[in-house]
Structure 1
Amino acid sequence: MILKIFYTSILLSLLFASVECKENPPETEILKVQNDTSLDLNSAVSKVLPLIFPHLLKEWKLEPADTSKLWVLRASYGGTTALTFDSQKEYAENLIRTQAMYTAQLAAAISNLPIKEIRLSLTKPLYVKGENHPDVGIQEFEIFRTALSTEKAKAILAEHKTISPFSSFKNHKEELSQLYGKIQAAWTIELNQLGQITVE
């Protein structure tokens, strides 16, 4: 089975980019959720996630981590198109960087909650063609999944407290690249199908 994502012209890509891209959620809104003591765990998470993943959140759930009354947060997000204007190399690099960005933002947003681990999944619609698929069709696949303890994430954020994980990458490329690099070094990759995807 061959998984493909199609390269398209910059003008058409910009049309779809409006769906894929997001503005960084205002930290003031997240602070309001963190400071609202009337919210239970599920309510707080349900308010925070749409701020981080507007239009991209697929599903989420909380699972007991162990007997210490802590929880594991599983969240899935992804785009809505099988088109890209990235090259083969840029496609994988940008998706991994985006995963690190969301992991850092999510860790900061839930830092006051009894959550032990973040497991974040990226799902994407891809063109599929193979022996069992003579005609090219689009199916959604989970292509990248990582796990990171909130304890490690908090330590990394504390090391980089001079930069907010919600800052613009364009304006703070060096600082955020260092932060994302630390996140990537600390997480565990549970699934990586990026090498199976061909950009055409």
Structure 2
Amino acid sequence: MFSFCRSSFLIVLLCSQLIWNCSKSLEKSLDDWIQVTEKADSISMDELARLCFKHSYRLSEWGADKNTLYVEYGGASALTFSSKETYIPSILLDLARKAYRTYATGSKKGLAELRVSLVKPYYVKNETNPETEIQEFEVYRISIDPVIWSKVNSDKPIDPFETDENDIPIGKFLERLEILMKEWKVELNELKRVQVQ
């Protein structure tokens, strides 16, 4: 029994350390990006999107005429381990965390507007085909511009990496993300149609 408890503790400790190190490595990667990027262009903005959205990144487009970055991201699985109550709030908090870091970093090099689309696979059962199939849908799209950003960051700067051991935002960072989620412009919201079972 002691051996099992000790092994379990070590596994939890190792996982927490890995998550913490990933957050720190992202922070260093973004600092490095700021140092080497002279100005916003399609290559540097794509690299920024890949850094901030990590494995969920799908594509990005840079509109140089208006300094707009469009990012599409999403999951690869229709499965979720979230409950009905936590599914949408956890998706929106994750979006806010990624969008905040992207805008905070990119705006230092000329990013004016950030548009983000969430595309996810879902199980679909329609009337013509009783078999359930998986299809991808754009379910949420937001935009952030300088006016919105000034409302979110009216106070002194905060640490956009203030998270717990599971990389969940806490403290002042969480407070800013809550403001961001209230202020960002929602261009598409189909999350209300998603049923978690």
Q: TM-score category by the smaller chain?
A: 0.7 to 0.9
Q: Helix, strand or coil: the match of 1:134?
A: coil
Larger radius of gyration: 2
Bigger relative contact order, structure 1 or 2 (CA pairs below 8 A, ≥6 apart): 1
Distance 1:122 1:44 in 2: 21
Describe how 1:1-200 pairs up with structure 2 within 5 A: 23-24=22-23, 25-37=25-37, 41-64=41-64, 69-153=65-149, 156-157=152-153, 159=155, 161=157, 163-169=158-164, 173-200=170-197
Q: CA deviation at 1:131?
A: 1.1
Distance 1:195 1:172 in 2: 24
Structure (1 or 2) with the greater strand fraction = 1
Structure (1 or 2) with the greater helix fraction = 2
Distance 2:40 2:110 in 1: 11
Distance 2:191 2:159 in 1: 28
Q: CA deviation at 1:47?
A: 2.0
Structure 1 unaligned segments of length 5 or more: list them.
Answer: 1-20
1:122-166: CA deviations, max 9, x gaps? 1111000011332100111111111110453255245251x3223
Would you say the 8 A contact 1:107–1:154 is kept in 2? no
Range with greater deviation from structure 2 (38-47 or 185-194): 38-47
Letter in 2 for 1:125: P
- Name the residue aligned to 2:4: none
CA RMSD of aligned residues (A): 2.4
Identical columns (%): 25
Would you say the 8 A contact 2:68–2:114 is kept in 1? yes
Letter in 1 for 2:42: N
Range with greater deviation from structure 2 (189-198 or 32-41): 32-41
Range with greater deviation from structure 2 (29-38 or 167-176): 167-176
Distance 1:80 1:52 in 2: 17
Q: Helix, strand or coil: the match of 1:54?
A: helix
Letter in 1 for 2:192: G
Would you say the 8 A contact 1:41–1:113 is kept in 2? no
Q: Helix, strand or coil: the match of 2:123?
A: strand
- For normalisation by structure 1, the TM-score amounts to 0.77
Letter in 2 for 1:126: Y
- Name the residue aligned to 2:12: none
